[in-house]
Amino acid sequence: MAIKTPITIAYGDGIGPEIMQATLAILSAANALIEPEVIEIGEKIYRQGFTCGIPDDAWQTLKRTKVLLKGPITTPQGGGYKSLNVTLRKTLSLFANVRPCISYAPYVTTNFPDINLVIVRENEEDTYSGIEHRQTDEVYQCLKLITRPGCERIIHYAFEYAQKFNRKKVTCLSKDNIMKMTDGLFHRLFNEIAAEYPDIEHDHMIVDIGTALIAAQPQRFDVIVTLNLYGDIISDVAAQVAGSVGLAGSANIGAHMAMFEAIHGSAPDIAGKNIANPSGLLNAAIQMLVHINQPETAALIENAWLKTLEDGIHTGDIYSSQSKQKVGTQAFAAAVIERLGQKPTHFKPVVYQPGSYAKIECYDAPLATPSKKELIGIDIFIDNPNNIPAEQLAKTLAPLSEKLQLIVITSRGLKIWPNSSIEAPFLRHCCCRFQSSADTKQLKQIQHEDILQLLSKINTLGLDVIKTENLYTFDGELGFTLAQGQ
C-alpha cells in the first residue's frame, strides 16, 4: 500500500470550515496520499486565553507532520492578541512566502489576461520583527532588521524556485536608493547570487516604480523577490490586478516545515452560507501536493479546477457574463471532482514532472569570515522637550570627552549643527554623533568605557538619553550612514 504523508489540518474561522471541507473532499477524490491530523487554532483558542491563538499540543502535531494546510483565521481585535500567522511564520522559521499570481481571463474578470507571476517574499525579518518603541511624547520608532543570511536564503530560494519551475527571470525590488545599508545589502547580494544562475535573467527595480509596473503592466514580471513589507504590499496589488484575491493560494516555506493557505481572510460576512469560493485554499493545497512530491495528483486537481472554470461553473464572487451556472461551495467542489481526469482546453493544461519539484533545498549560508570590527563612536539620541537650541547643546556636550569629538547633531536624520541652514528644526528629538575623529579616514578604536564615561557626564547634566547606537567600522568601512547634509 502506498505510504500516506501526514498533514496537519486547521479548519480555521469564518468560511474556513466550509472551504476546508470542500478542499479535502477534492483531495480525497483525487486519491491524494495524505493522512490528515486536525488541530484547533484561531478564534476559539484566542478566547480560551492563548494570546497567539494556538494551544501547546498543536505545536507537537505541527512539529511531527511538518506540513500545515490552514484555513483563514479571525484575529480578535484588541486585548493583546497576536497574529497567529506571524507567530507560525516566525516560530516555524517559514522564511519564504511564495504567492503565484495568475489571471484566468476571460472566466475571471481582469484587465490583464496574461499575468503569470510568482512573488517570493522574505517572511521573517524587516519591520515585521515588530520591534517598536515610543521614545518621547511625540516620537515612535520601528526597527528594520535585515540579516545577511536572511537575504541570502530568500534570494537563493527565488532562483532555485525559478529554475525548478522553468521560470525565465527574477526581478528584485528594493528601496536601496534611500536605505543604502539594509536594502543595499539585499540588492548587492541579489546581484552576487544572480551570477550563480547564468541561465536565468535578472533585473532590479526600485520598489515604488516596481509596484506601479505590477499595477500597470503585470505581464512583464515572472518571479519577483523582495523584502517582507514590500512583499506584503505587492502581493495584494498583484492578486487584485489579476482578479484572483479569492482564488490565490500561498505557501510559507521553511527549511523543515511548510504552511499552505488561501491569501484571503475568514470572510465573516459570508461564513456558514455555503457560498464561499474554495479555490484559494484548493490552490494552496495544490502547492502543498507539489511540495510533498505528489506532482501528478497536484496536476490532476489543477486541470480539473481549470476545466471547471472554463465550463462556467462559478461561485458568486466570480460570477459574470462568462459564467453558466452559479454554485455554492460544496457544489463547486463536486464539479471539480466530476472533472478529475479531464484537461482544460482554453487554458494550457498543467504538467508537473514527477520528482522534479520535490521540496526546494533551502540554502544554509556558511558563516562569513568575521570582519575586523572596531568601535569608533556613538550616536546619542536625546529627548529635548524644552527645545534647547543645537548650538547650545553642542557647547555643553563638546567638551565632555577627550576621546570622543562631537561631530554632528541631527534631527530625524537631518543635520541641525554645525552650519545648519534649516529654518525651523525639529529640536525635541535629536541625535548627537560622537566619533574618535572628525576625519573618517583617521578613525581610531575606542573602548566601551569611553562611551560609559561620556554617558555618565551627559546624565549629570540632566539630559534624557533615550537611545544610543554604537558606531563601528568593519574592515575599515563605515558601518553607519552619514547624516543628510553632513
Residues that bind ligand NAD (CB under 6 A): 15, 19, 72-75, 85, 246, 261, 264-270, 276-277, 280, 317
261 versus 310: smaller Cβ distance to ligand NAD: 261
User: In terms of CB distance, is 189 or 262 closer to ligand NAD?
Assistant: 262
Which residue type occupies 390?
A
Beta-bridge partner residues of 160: none
* Closer Cβ to ligand NAD, 15 or 58, answer by number: 15
Cis? peptide before 366, omega within 30° of 0: no
Closest to ligand NAD by CB, 222 or 317: 317
Distance in angstroms (rounded) separating the CA atoms of residues 288 and 300: 14
Shortest Å distance, C-beta 264 to ligand NAD:
3
- Least distance from C-beta 334 to ligand NAD, angstroms? 17
CB of 115 to ligand NAD, least distance (A): 19
Give the nearer residue to ligand NAD in terms of CB position, either 87 or 116.
Answer: 87
Give me the phi and psi of 170, to 5 degrees please: -120, 125
Q: Which parts of 257-368 fold into alpha helices (H)? A: 279-291, 295-310, 329-338
Q: How many CA atoms lie within 13 A of 87 on its CB side?
A: 17
- By C-alpha distance, which of 110, 480, 117 is closest to 320? 110
Q: Cell numbers at residue 481, please?
A: 550612514
Are 104 and 296 in contact by the 8 Å Cβ rule? The answer is no
User: Can you name the residues that pair with 70 across neighbouring β-strands?
Assistant: 10, 261
Cα(376)–Cα(451) distance, integer angstroms: 10
Q: State the sign of the Cα–Cα–Cα–Cα dihedral 6, 7, 10, 11.
A: negative
- Quickly tell me which residue has 484571503 as its cell: 264
Burial (CB count <10 Å: 0-12, 13-18, 19+), residue 324 = exposed
DSSP string, 409-460: EEETTEEEESS---SS---SEEEEEEES-SSGGG-----HHHHHHHHHHHHH
Residue closest to ligand NAD (Cβ): 265
Which one, 281 or 406, has the nearer CB to ligand NAD? 281
Query: Residue 83 or residue 129: which is nearer to ligand NAD going by CB?
Result: 83
Is the distance from CB of 276 to CB of 267 less than 8 angstroms? yes
Q: How far is the CB of 229 from ligand NAD (least distance, A)?
A: 16
What is the distance between the alpha carbons of residues 347 and 438, in angstroms, rounded to a whole number? 65
Nearer to ligand NAD by C-beta: 23 or 436? 23
Shortest Cβ 329–ligand NAD spacing (Å): 8
- Indicate the residue among 19 and 115 with the shorter CB distance to ligand NAD: 19
Q: Smallest distance from the beta carbon of 144 to ligand NAD, in angstroms? A: 23
Q: Shortest distance, CB of residue 79 to ligand NAD, whole angstroms?
A: 13
Q: Is the dihedral of CA 61, 65, 71, 73 positive or negative?
A: positive
* Min dist. Cβ of residue 157 to ligand NAD (A): 21
Task: State the nearest-atom distance from the C-beta of 284 to ligand NAD, in Å.
Answer: 10
